[in-house]
Amino acid sequence: MAKLLHMPEVSANATHAAIQNWVKKEGETISAGDCIAEIETEKALVELAAEEDAVLGKILVQPGQEVEVGSPIGVLFAKGETNVDIDALLAKAGATQSAAPAPQPAAGDSPSNVEATPVSVPPKVEHEAKATTTGRRIFASPLARRIAMEKGIDLASLKGSGPNGRILKADVESAKPVAAQQASTAAPASSISASFDEIPHSGMRKTIAKRLAESKATVPHFYLSVECRMEKLLALRQQVNETAPKKISINDFIVKAVAVALKQLPAMNVSWTDTAMRHYHQADVCVAVSTDSGLITPVVRAADSKALSQISADVVELAGRAREGKLKPEEYQGGSFTISNLGMFGVAEFSAIINPPQAAILAVGATQQKPVVEGGELKVGSVMKCVLSADHRAVDGALAAQWLEVFKRLIENPLSMLI
């Protein structure tokens, strides 16, 4: 019996999502577990898997079109089923169809008795831009936009091969970089008009902007900083890496130290809600990763109970898939604390914005050689500066200071967190 395929809630509290790509074609047989389509969320691509054997009888939502969660996006036929009244099926579900026809599938891809028409859900155009010279709208997939930006390609110069002329990855990869177009309108003698290109915000970038603006505006941040001596940690890391099959980074030690400190001082492993304080049972540490689409924070679960080698493997694997846009929602949602490390860029010190609903984030700077005083004598030491941003609703200043003290002790005596 035919049934509607609905847009799933691919991430917590998501109200809308968009089809990035239909993996299966109309008329194609699907087995349980097969990937039917790729759905673009705010931070990653999620595969929509079939729950049972069926035939993809009808595609209702075209790639790039954003619809509400729960809206019909396709129709699944039972095997051997051909005579299906899709209008009646949609009417029963309370949905309607648009009069505007979608692009027709290739011959043999769709049962002959089914017309290809999309659901009438007003598309929220996430993937369109205005060319700086022609004023026409450009439809392109997020991946195509990203590749075009990296290669210096003007999307306005391309002809898309996707539905409704949408520019796809293959269109950009086959194109050659072109120079940015210059503004042709003469500016008044009293002013200079600079040319520019506008690149539409990705869903991920919009989410980052919204969440961080809300955090800075609504969460009462306060900041504490500490300097950690790194000689013992650097020596231990060198000793470990001489025999380890895969190298351990300084950041791996930091993740471990944060997690152990949260377990030793569990009052810091909390988050604020309007009705209660939420105390977490394990130290799930988020690690900020920079991607082409923006910042994402994959979670190292139960980092306090993991060996350094496992933490290192988790971070490498999660960061790699984050940059490919292949993280699952449960791999970047949740977490009780975040680390943002810019030390590899030579940044000595910075403060970070809290990642709601968490109560704290640690901003880690570079390890630097600087003058230190030991026993009344001036020496050269290796020092790393960290700044803790904390939510004053959930964490008091004295508690945050105690936690930083524990963290500093672990960093400066790294063997203690490995025992």
Reduce the DSSP state of residue 158 to 3 states and report it: coil
Which of 16, 201, 221, 392 is the catalytic position? 392
Alpha-carbon Rg of the chain, whole angstroms? 26
Cα separation of 24 and 105, whole Å? 12
Cα separation of 332 and 296, whole Å? 7
Cα separation of 178 and 89, whole Å? 49
Contact 22, 41 (CB under 8 A): no
Close Cβ partners of 48 (under 8 Å, ≥ 6 residues apart): 8, 35, 36, 37, 38, 39
* Phi, then psi, of 410 in degrees rounded to 5: -65, -40
Assess whether 392 carries a catalytic annotation.
yes
Give the strand pairing for 360-374 and 337-341: parallel
Could you tell me the end-to-end alpha-carbon distance of the chain, in angstroms, rounded to an integer?
Answer: 60
CB atoms within 10 A of CB 125: 14
Calculate the CA 361 to chain-centre distance.
18
Cα separation of 143 and 44, whole Å? 11
With vertex at residue 202, the alpha carbon angle to CA 156 and CA 356, rounded to the nearest 5 degrees, is 165
Contact 286, 298 (CB under 8 A): yes
Q: Where are the alpha helices (DSSP H) in 219-283?
A: 231-243, 250-264
Cα separation of 15 and 167, whole Å? 26
Instruction: Report the candidate in 287, 282, 417, 269 with the shortest Cα–Cα distance to residue 357.
Output: 269
Instruction: Report the candidate in 316, 310, 308 with the shortest Cα–Cα distance to residue 256.
Output: 308
Instruction: Report the candidate in 209, 212, 225, 207 with the shortest Cα–Cα distance to residue 389.
Output: 225
Q: Where are the alpha helices (DSSP H) in 246-370?
A: 250-264, 308-323, 329-332
Residue showing tokens 């009344």: 376
Residue showing tokens 């991946």: 143
The residues that are catalytic are 392
